[in-house]
């Protein structure tokens, strides 16, 4: 029996991990399975053509909040062209609502309820041998839906095969490698489906290390673990991290962690990890206690905040923190307090997300209690609550847009810090002001590159911060110098001509140069100016102190900043 599994990913760089596991397990059981990966941006008729070419007897699709409309439309067209084929769907968007999904899309024959490796393979076997449909596969008999055992999980993750037999091709296409060492979550966050199975199951550590070594040997630049809370069991995850830290690789490994669960032992170890080896995503969601209680979060804020600051002080890994707008009992004022608390941690990225009221979650059950108004179709995003009216929610959406282009870009760190000092505002109040101005001037909702954002910030400074504009523009100039090498807009006061004599004298002193650039070797003046630009700033970017600060940017070493303060001495 010929089977085609189709994964419709949200972006080209993504890979469909779930269907990869399902397909590889079915192959191990002797089934003829092919995998097709496309994106929601692909022309649907082009994808339909690729699906039709396979001439499969069974077509399987994974359905998520980002691809449901696309997949359902694809299934409808496929049914018209292949009326005799078997169409099977699975994934979080359909597994917990079989009756509704059969009503929405009658072209579907079977729905895999839960983790599908075992039951999908069993379904293929039953179809081949014309046997009874196995458990955990929902289907219809006439107008009646048979749930047939309900949702299931894989208890023994050792049965799962390596999901990337095509690893070399995946890496050649510059796609992200996703991986899971565990499944399930012990927590019961009210907005999430992961906690439905409270039983956390682990793939044997030896198998995980072998899988990771395959990624390393193939030269994967980034491996993202999809474990819902990676650091649940120190006896399990710490040896894994130690293995990765000791590996001879330039790969980065991404984990979602609960920061208040990090022990002293783990923190001491993390301080020794090579720079860039790990990056952490830390879900905070809110710091408002009534909100945390309503969504079943039991975070220790003091420990969490202290651990995040400690991780940041190590300066060897990227730290990403999350907030969710639209949660129960949080209005604009209390959300602003959560924003201020989390922004003050100084993480490299603060992702402002919005509640998605997923079918089957506690939040869906409490819709009336909290006055939740949200999209009827995926991604089920919140529009308003009894605490946050639509107009306030739209302000938060606009702040998200501006925050991503300014702070989260990482390009304007010191300018934003200086603006906060100059304005004398808390972070949330500042971003409200900046966002309202940004919208008023017509810069929203467009996405601007680093050069465009720099011009917008300069415009804001000149219009709103006249008394401190010289300092702020100098600090913006420093950010531009580091973030956008080679770009010298005329509206910033570049000093290259004024400091030419000092720079020339520096480059003529080869012994001195080697103290700052050990690998320096003269090739041409043009190459020197390109690889090692030097600029002078009249205000210090970190504290705004006035003076003469010379900085060299080493573009041969990931934009390394080298201080040349001796040039400022007479």
Average pLDDT over residues 523-536: 89
Tell me: pLDDT of 197 over 70: no
Closest residue by Cα to residue 453 from 502, 403, 518: 403
**pLDDT digit string, tens, across residues 424-464:** 999 999 999 999 999 999 999 999 999 999 999 999 999 99
472 exposure class (CB count in 10 Å sphere: 0-12, 13-18, 19+): buried
CATH homologous superfamily of 176-388? tm_1862 like domain (3.80.30.20)
pLDDT, position 117: 98
Tell me the pLDDT of the chain averaged across its residues. 95
**pLDDT digit string, tens, across residues 100-132:** 999 999 999 999 999 999 999 999 999 999 999
Tell me: pLDDT of 570 over 50: no
- 2-146: in CATH 3.40.50.280: yes
**pLDDT digit string, tens, across residues 24-66:** 999 999 999 999 999 999 999 999 999 999 999 999 999 999 9
Please give the residue that has the higher pLDDT: either 559 or 103.
103
Whether residue 369 contacts residue 340, with contact meaning beta carbons closer than 8 Å, is answered with no
Other C-beta atoms closer than 10 Å to the C-beta of 514 total: 12
pLDDT, position 557: 77
Two tokens, residue 567: 């040039």
Distance CA 269, CA 384 (A): 44
**pLDDT digit string, tens, across residues 468-477:** 999 999 999 9
- What are φ and ψ of residue 42, in 5° steps? -75, 145
Distances (CA, A) of 344 to 157, 321, 470: 40, 11, 26
CA dihedral 421, 422, 423, 429 (to 10 degrees): -30
Whether residue 117 contacts residue 22, with contact meaning beta carbons closer than 8 Å, is answered with yes
- Going by the DSSP 8-state scheme, the letter that residue 15 receives in this structure is -
């Amino acid at each position: 029996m010929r089977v085609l599994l189709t994964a419709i990913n949200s972006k080209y760089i993504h890979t469909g991990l779930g269907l990869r596991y399902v397909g590889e397990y079915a192959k191990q059981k002797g089934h003829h399975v092919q995998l097709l990966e496309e994106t929601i941006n692909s022309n649907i008729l082009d994808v339909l053509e690729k699906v039709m070419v396979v001439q499969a007897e069974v077509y399987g699709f994974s359905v998520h909040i980002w691809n449901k409309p696309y997949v359902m439309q694809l299934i409808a067209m496929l049914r018209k062209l292949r009326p005799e084929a078997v169409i099977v769907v699975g994934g979080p968007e359909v597994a917990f609502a079989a009756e509704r999904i059969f009503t929405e899309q009658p072209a579907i024959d079977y729905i895999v309820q839960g983790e599908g490796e075992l039951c999908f393979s069993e379904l293929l076997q039953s179809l081949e041998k014309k046997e009874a449909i196995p458990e955990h596969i929902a289907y219809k008999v006439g107008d009646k839906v048979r749930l047939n055992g309900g949702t299931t999980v894989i208890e023994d993750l050792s049965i799962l095969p390596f999901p990337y037999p095509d690893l070399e091709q995946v890496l050649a296409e510059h796609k992200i490698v996703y991986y899971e060492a565990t499944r399930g979550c012990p927590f019961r966050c009210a907005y999430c489906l992961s906690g439905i199975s409270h039983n956390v199951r682990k793939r044997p550590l030896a198998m995980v290390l072998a899988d990771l070594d395959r990624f390393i040997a193939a030269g994967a630049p980034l491996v993202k673990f999809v474990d819902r809370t990676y650091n649940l069991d120190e006896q399990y995850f710490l040896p894994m991290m130690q293995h990765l830290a000791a590996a001879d690789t330039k790969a980065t490994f991404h984990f979602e962690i609960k920061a208040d669960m990090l022990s002293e032992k783990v923190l001491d170890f993390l301080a020794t990890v090579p720079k860039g080896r790990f990056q952490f995503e830390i879900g905070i969601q809110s710091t408002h206690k009534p909100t945390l209680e309503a969504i079943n979060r039991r975070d220790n804020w003091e420990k969490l905040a202290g651990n995040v600051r400690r991780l940041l002080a190590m300066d060897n890994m990227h730290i990403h923190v999350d907030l969710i707008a639209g949660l129960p009992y949080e209005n604009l004022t209390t959300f602003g307090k959560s924003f201020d608390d989390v922004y003050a941690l100084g993480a490299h990225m603060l992702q402002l997300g919005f509640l998605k009221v997923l079918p089957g979650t506690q939040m869906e059950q409490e819709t009336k209690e909290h006055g939740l108004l949200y999209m009827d179709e995926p991604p089920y995003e919140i529009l308003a609550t009894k605490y946050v009216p639509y107009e306030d929610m739209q302000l938060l959406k606009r702040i998200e847009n501006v925050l991503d282009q300014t702070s989260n870009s990482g390009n304007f760190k010191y300018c934003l810090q200086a603006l906060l000092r100059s304005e004398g505002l808390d972070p949330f109040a500042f971003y409200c002001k900046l966002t309202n101005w940004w919208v008023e001037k017509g810069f929203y909702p467009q996405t601007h590159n680093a050069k465009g954002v720099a011009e917008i910030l300069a415009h804001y400074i000149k219009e709103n911060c006249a008394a401190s504009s010289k300092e702020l523009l100098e600090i913006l100039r420093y950010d531009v110098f580091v973030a956008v090498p080679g770009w010298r807009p005329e509206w910033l006061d570049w000093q290259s001509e004024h400091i030419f004599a000092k720079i020339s004298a520096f480059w003529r002193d080869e012994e001195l140069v080697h103290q700052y650039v050990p690998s320096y070797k003269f090739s041409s003046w043009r190459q020197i100016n390109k690889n090692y630009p030097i600029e002078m700033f009249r205000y210090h970017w970190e504290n705004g102190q006035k003076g003469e600060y010379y900085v060299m940017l080493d573009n041969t070493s990931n934009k390394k900043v080298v201080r040349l303060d001796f040039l400022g001495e007479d």
